[in-house]
Structure 1
Amino acid sequence: MTPPPARRRRAGASDAAPARNLPRRGTVRRAQAITTYGVGSLVAVDQESFIVSGLDRADEQWSADEAPVIHERRLARLLGVRYFRLPPASDDTSRDGVRVRRFPLMHSCPECGDLRRHRDFNPPPGRSVCGTCEVDLVPSRFVIACEGGHLDEFPYRQWVHRSTERGATIAGQCGGILKLRTSGRSSSLRSILVSCTCGVPEVSMEGSFRRNALKDLGLRCLGARPWLGTSFSDLKPCPLTPRTLQRGSSAVWQPVLKSALSIPPWSDGRADPLAEHWDVLRSLESRVEVEAALKVVFKGASPLSAEEVMTLLAAEREEDAQGEAEVTFDHRYRALREKEYERLRAGNDERERSHEEQFVCETPIGDPTVLRPLGVTGPMLVKKLREVRALAAFTRLAEPDTTTGSNEVPLSDTTLPWLPAMQVHGEGVFLRLDEERLGAWEKTDAVTHRVERMRAAHQKLLEQRAGDTAPIPLSPATPRMVLLHTLAHVLVDEWSLEAGYPAAALRERLYAADDMAGVLVHTATSDSAGSLGGLVAQGEPERLARTIRSAVRRAEWCSSDPLCVESEASGTGGTNLAACHACVMLPETSCEHNNVLLDRALLVGTPEDPGLGFFSEVVEER
């Protein structure tokens, strides 16, 4: 994360400033800097706690060789940036790393019981110990956050003085020292006791997690953004009420990730040198204008011909959301998915490929008609793919799929031309459901009624998260979306058993819309395990048919049945039905929708209605 001490340089011909001598506090993998420990998240290192800093000065801090630039034009255009950067390498030879700041600042000493800011303990340089007791300090277990993304210290002083008649006033004037201890009677909040040497009664932390606990104290969000290093004078009051959270809670930080596959004509990497010039090139209409611009920019040594650039511009314009009165981010993201769906259906043969091609999608050798009785069609073997996954923003107290752009927190205080991202090289299997059979199934009353319950619950959750002024997004729950989502989960579980992949090493990519009904399951790790051919081999029709039958029959039973299959609502806000961690839920890194909108009854039916499932005929086969 933070860099190791810099090596001393000799003064000489180089005028470059030496690297800053910052202490090193542990290491993280590049993928974790996007999915787990991104900007604004809290990181626990040994006995200390830190928050990952924003990107405002990252251009100066991240060296080009340890944080290289990567390109994915389709995703960059969607997110409004020119390029992406890998987070800096963090190993024994690293010169730099991801910057962090100490947070929370409130610490307690387990020996003397003092509860105060870290610096007030007078710790020795480079250590986090009590200057008097010489024991390791413990960071505050509690922080407060609001849905606007702000994060702050828990107001211990106001909390302990709340029983007085003028609690807020006395808390501000009290010169006493806060004390923290545990009674040891239980592990509940009632056993965590806070006191002040000014003589107010000792109080417990019980009740501090109530939604209105801080509002009842008259406290509002101050708009603190510690990951940006904002001072008290920079704070802008926030109208939202903060809530108490555990420092290690997943609700403290949730990444907003956007991804795209590299598909032709962008997937050979030859267009990368043009990344800085696309805005100019898009404004040109004719081949002659493009050719003249290339000569000026590259001084006659353009990596692409004018014809190739015209082809790229035409492909880019095809992804423009057409026929929409108001083109939103969701429209553009769907257009991106539609082009991927078309390319996955069409594939590319050897004549279309070059040595640098990063997308290889072929038709299986076997007879695909063996899949027809299952309602599955169009299997494709994706022998080579590249996915770029960018950290676009983050949220607090809300899942990214149940929030709106107004609650998404940017990674920097200023607008940057890039975002941090990771790239995955791997393989996958793509399949589609038969449109005729799917169309008849999704119109049945039992299916539409069941999915409507999930959609209503999800829509209610979206409305709660949107706030008073933010636009309310529509729930994506439809019969085909829930079916494809659940099918992808059971396939990942099956292949984790059959092909030896851990479930966390596989990832789903759904293509669900009126004109799309496909699933891509691909490797989601950035190491060599993602491209060994083991997953592609599972896509041959005969083997795929056996896998689907086995996965569906396995989904027929859950160790939590009958509670699971007969559940009227499960998951966050009732957004799932027959789905739990014992049957179809996956690791969060493998699921695009955070394990919501799942129902295995749409695969296999229910005891009361066996014909409800799309694959009910498979269940009846014995």
Structure 2
Amino acid sequence: MGDRRNRRGRGDRGERFREVSRTPLGGVRRAQMITTYGVGSLVAIGDQSYIVSGLDNWKVEDSEAIYEPRLERWLGVDGFQPPPAASPPAGDGVKVRLFPEFYSCANCHELKEFRKFGSPRGKSQCGACEKPLTPSRFIAACENGHLDDFPYFDWVHKKTEFTDSETVPRHKLSLHSTGRTASLRSVVIRCSCGKYASMEGAFGKQALTGLGIKCTGRRPWLGKGSEQEGCRANPRTMQRGASAAWFPVNRSALSIPPWSETLQKRIHPHYKTLRTLIENGVGDDVLSSVIESNKIRRDSRFSVEDVIEAVRHRQRLEESEQPDSDKQELFESASKLRREEYEKLRFGTASVDRGDDFECTKPPEDPDAPLPVGIERTMQVHRLREVRALESFTRVEAPDPTSINDRKAAVSLETQTWLPAIEVSGEGAFLTLCMERLRDWESREGVILRANRIRENHTSALRRRALGTGGKKEISKIHSPISARYVLLHTLAHALINEWSLEAGYPAASLRERLYVSHDMAGVLIYTATSDSAGSLGGVVAQGEYKRLRESLGSALSRVSWCSQDPPCMETEASGVDSLNLAACYACVLLPETSCEVNNTFLDRAMLIGTPDDDSLGYFSSAS
């Protein structure tokens, strides 16, 4: 990561910039630039705090481009790029900007912008007393993704009597901590005009709005001049290091045939050139020359005609109808992107080349150990590749799988044709539920009532968020798409991940779920798409065998039938964030959040095994 302040302009008009220092301020793994320290996130480096700049300032190498045609088309981009490396030969690192801008000195207690302290270059030091400076603990953010320094001046003066700082230049702020308690009451902001106020009450949802303080629309990760006027969302106070300051909006897709096949992988880097030549009607000799010069064939397995047909196949994909023309309102687990994967996972691959990224086969049937009741089929995914892209991010509220598009923050000032992404390989096991049994179970009154509780709470949360962001959408038209089927499959995935982490020797954080849920889909993929050694040990594939699945599912159901927090856990009317869970806690079915698609929400183990009062609620219970 490089600080934007390491660049200095020279020349009469300042049109040319030279780099003063290429020394990185710090480093993180590339994968973290998608999940933890992406565009717009805050990162502490040494004794200073920074915000990761927008994609406009990223320098990426075309030679490292990541290709996944289905995901590219769904997100409307031309490709993906891994975050740039810090070493000069591989790129110029990721730029960061100083944020928050307000700092304080523990010695003289002054509270003001960093640039006004007169700190020596390359240091974070008070120019007057030569003591270390501390970044502001508090920031202000809104649900539309805007971010700004905490409005200290307004907080002090609007709580008493407002005074214009521009007409009264003697206003100087200072930060004091009495140390009497650990509460915010001990943090006091004083002004040289004599007014003061503690930070008590600053974290209330209406604390800033109640004083007439509005969102400034600032987007410091995009630089000066990027402010958005007229934001109607309520600004909220939060700690600089709070997890709610940045939530990534990640999108992902599995590489499936034909895009996972060796030939398509070879033409990816040269696709645009080949498509242009074919569209212009060049002769076969010219095409053959281009194909040979780029070493697309490499061996005798593929002919020139094979390459041309592969290019035309991809061209047809681009020219066909968009996968989800209204994807802003789409529940991702039911998207066409997932539907395509569902079909490939359900029926597997007939033949696989050694260079393919996808291999899925049906395990041999075992007469002595048939599939568990309620499971229609199981498949072993020996090889899979997943591309994960950072589409955007949110603040204050975690992204909801059904409403994130109303409040996504911009990752660049100018429109970019690419998004940052990583590709990971692994293995997995896929299973589907018996549709006939599932439809019978979904029609039961008790199941409907429990699912409705979660759906109503989710609808209320969606409507509250829409009001908080000042959106124009009609609130009464907002409804949750969550169904009993989704809650069942999601809870089943969690129960199996917890069980397989014990049986197969994987840490739970190395396993991930991928749900396929709609009126005609009911499947779950549990896989290990990770870049470390825990991604290819073969343990998850083995769980797809009939005997092992029967044993592990039985053990998982037995394990979730009792929780150390029972009876409160099973009898609770609502639990979790926004009351989106029923019988679910960290003692039974919750997982590390990296393993879950929807942040440990929409879970209820009663959907699996029923309740002590009603066994028929459980899909796998004996009463079913």
TM-score, normalised relative to structure 1:
0.88
Distance in 2 (alpha carbons) for counterparts of 1:568 and 1:444: 19
User: 2:61–2:90: 8 Å Cα contact kept in structure 1?
Assistant: no
User: 2:372–2:550: 8 Å Cα contact kept in structure 1?
Assistant: no
Paired amino acid for 1:21: S
Distance in 1 (alpha carbons) for counterparts of 2:419 and 2:20: 23
User: 1:430–1:521: 8 Å Cα contact kept in structure 2?
Assistant: yes
Distance in 1 (alpha carbons) for counterparts of 2:106 and 2:367: 66
Pairing 1:380–2:373 present: no
Give the 3-state SS of the residue equivalent to 1:482 in structure 2.
helix
User: 2:389–2:421: 8 Å Cα contact kept in structure 1?
Assistant: yes
Paired amino acid for 1:469: K
Deviations 1:164-188 (A, max 9, x none): 33x1535863523211122222221
Paired position in structure 2 for 1:51: 51
Give the 3-state SS of the residue equivalent to 1:169 in structure 2.
coil
1:280 is displaced (CA, Å) by 11
Paired position in structure 2 for 1:215: 209
Choose the corresponding residue for 2:559, options 554, 560, 563.
554
Paired amino acid for 1:344: L
Pairing 1:271–2:264 present: yes
1:598 is displaced (CA, Å) by 0.7
Deviations 1:209-230 (A, max 9, x none): 1222212222211211100112
Paired amino acid for 2:164: T
1:116 is displaced (CA, Å) by 1.2
Distance in 2 (alpha carbons) for counterparts of 1:526 and 1:500: 17
Paired amino acid for 1:144: A
User: 2:430–2:523: 8 Å Cα contact kept in structure 1?
Assistant: yes
Distance in 1 (alpha carbons) for counterparts of 2:441 and 2:176: 60
1:524 is displaced (CA, Å) by 3.2
Which runs of structure 2 are paired with 1:497-536 in the superposition (5 Å)?
A: 497-536=502-541
Deviations 1:7-46 (A, max 9, x none): xxxxxxxxxx987624422211111100111000111223
User: 1:290–1:306: 8 Å Cα contact kept in structure 2?
Assistant: no
Which runs of structure 2 are paired with 1:475-514 in the superposition (5 Å)?
A: 475-514=480-519
Paired position in structure 2 for 1:455: 455
Choose the corresponding residue for 2:236, options 223, 228, 243.
243
User: 1:4–1:23: 8 Å Cα contact kept in structure 2?
Assistant: no
Paired amino acid for 1:305: V
The total of aligned residue pairs comes to: 595
Paired position in structure 2 for 1:427: 427
Give the 3-state SS of the residue equivalent to 2:490 in structure 1.
helix
| TM-align CA RMSD | 3.1
1:369 is displaced (CA, Å) by 8.0
- Of stretches 87-96 and 601-610 in structure 1, the one that deviates more from structure 2 is 87-96
Task: Identify if the C-alpha distance between structure 1 residues 376 and 114 changes in structure 2 by more than 3 Å, giving closer, same or farther.
Answer: same
User: 1:39–1:227: 8 Å Cα contact kept in structure 2?
Assistant: yes
Deviations 1:102-123 (A, max 9, x none): 1001111122221111122221
1:317 is displaced (CA, Å) by 7.3
- Of stretches 588-597 and 209-218 in structure 1, the one that deviates more from structure 2 is 209-218
Which runs of structure 2 are paired with 1:577-596 in the superposition (5 Å)?
A: 577-596=582-601
Task: Identify if the C-alpha distance between structure 1 residues 368 and 50 changes in structure 2 by more than 3 Å, giving closer, same or farther.
Answer: farther
1:414 is displaced (CA, Å) by 1.1
Deviations 1:128-161 (A, max 9, x none): 1222333322111111111221100101111112
Deviations 1:259-281 (A, max 9, x none): 10000000025335655897999
User: 1:348–1:360: 8 Å Cα contact kept in structure 2?
Assistant: yes
Give the 3-state SS of the residue equivalent to 2:597 in structure 1.
coil
Paired position in structure 1 for 2:222: 228
Pairing 1:259–2:252 present: yes
Give the 3-state SS of the residue equivalent to 1:564 in structure 2.
helix
Paired amino acid for 1:434: C
Paired position in structure 2 for 1:400: 399
Deviations 1:242-264 (A, max 9, x none): 11111112221111111100000
1:308 is displaced (CA, Å) by 2.9
Distance in 2 (alpha carbons) for counterparts of 1:594 and 1:482: 13
- Of stretches 87-96 and 150-159 in structure 1, the one that deviates more from structure 2 is 87-96
Pairing 1:176–2:142 present: no
Give the 3-state SS of the residue equivalent to 2:55 in structure 1.
coil
Deviations 1:386-427 (A, max 9, x none): 000110111112221163423111210111110000111000
Distance in 2 (alpha carbons) for counterparts of 1:170 and 1:83: 48
Paired position in structure 1 for 2:299: none
Choose the corresponding residue for 2:145, options 143, 149, 152.
149
Distance in 1 (alpha carbons) for counterparts of 2:318 and 2:215: 43
Paired position in structure 2 for 1:9: none
Distance in 2 (alpha carbons) for counterparts of 1:266 and 1:141: 48
1:320 is displaced (CA, Å) by 5.0
User: 2:371–2:547: 8 Å Cα contact kept in structure 1?
Assistant: no
Paired position in structure 2 for 1:598: 603
Choose the corresponding residue for 1:190, options 153, 164, 185.
185
Paired amino acid for 1:105: E
User: 1:391–1:419: 8 Å Cα contact kept in structure 2?
Assistant: yes
Give the 3-state SS of the residue equivalent to 1:210 in structure 2.
coil
Paired amino acid for 2:192: T
User: 1:109–1:137: 8 Å Cα contact kept in structure 2?
Assistant: yes
Task: Identify if the C-alpha distance between structure 1 residues 186 and 297 changes in structure 2 by more than 3 Å, giving closer, same or farther.
Answer: farther
Give the 3-state SS of the residue equivalent to 2:344 in structure 1.
helix
Task: Identify if the C-alpha distance between structure 1 residues 530 and 3 changes in structure 2 by more than 3 Å, giving closer, same or farther.
Answer: farther
Task: Identify if the C-alpha distance between structure 1 residues 425 and 217 changes in structure 2 by more than 3 Å, giving closer, same or farther.
Answer: same
Paired position in structure 1 for 2:291: 301
- Of stretches 330-339 and 81-90 in structure 1, the one that deviates more from structure 2 is 330-339
Distance in 1 (alpha carbons) for counterparts of 2:485 and 2:229: 45
Q: Which runs of 5+ in 1 are unaligned?
A: 7-16
Distance in 2 (alpha carbons) for counterparts of 1:417 and 1:280: 17
Which runs of structure 2 are paired with 1:15-414 in the superposition (5 Å)?
A: 21-58=21-58, 61-64=59-62, 68-90=64-86, 96-165=92-161, 167-169=162-164, 173-200=168-195, 202-231=196-225, 236-272=229-265, 292=282, 300-301=290-291, 303=296, 304-313=306-315, 320-321=322-323, 330=330, 334-349=335-350, 352-367=351-366, 370-401=369-400, 403-414=403-414
Identity %: 49
Distance in 2 (alpha carbons) for counterparts of 1:156 and 1:57: 30
Distance in 2 (alpha carbons) for counterparts of 1:606 and 1:277: 58
1:330 is displaced (CA, Å) by 2.6
User: 2:263–2:310: 8 Å Cα contact kept in structure 1?
Assistant: no
Task: Identify if the C-alpha distance between structure 1 residues 5 and 398 changes in structure 2 by more than 3 Å, giving closer, same or farther.
Answer: closer
Distance in 2 (alpha carbons) for counterparts of 1:92 and 1:300: 32
Pairing 1:470–2:473 present: yes
1:494 is displaced (CA, Å) by 1.0
User: 2:427–2:538: 8 Å Cα contact kept in structure 1?
Assistant: yes
Paired amino acid for 1:448: I
1:465 is displaced (CA, Å) by 1.7
User: 2:488–2:604: 8 Å Cα contact kept in structure 1?
Assistant: yes
Task: Identify if the C-alpha distance between structure 1 residues 82 and 474 changes in structure 2 by more than 3 Å, giving closer, same or farther.
Answer: farther
1:536 is displaced (CA, Å) by 1.1
1:127 is displaced (CA, Å) by 1.3
Paired amino acid for 2:339: E
Deviations 1:347-382 (A, max 9, x none): 113xx2212100011111342883544311311110
1:162 is displaced (CA, Å) by 2.4
- Of stretches 446-455 and 275-284 in structure 1, the one that deviates more from structure 2 is 275-284
Distance in 2 (alpha carbons) for counterparts of 1:63 and 1:210: 45
Distance in 2 (alpha carbons) for counterparts of 1:363 and 1:525: 23
TM-score, normalised relative to structure 2:
0.88
Distance in 1 (alpha carbons) for counterparts of 2:62 and 2:279: 33
Distance in 1 (alpha carbons) for counterparts of 2:380 and 2:22: 48
Q: Which runs of 5+ in 2 are unaligned?
A: 7-16, 297-305
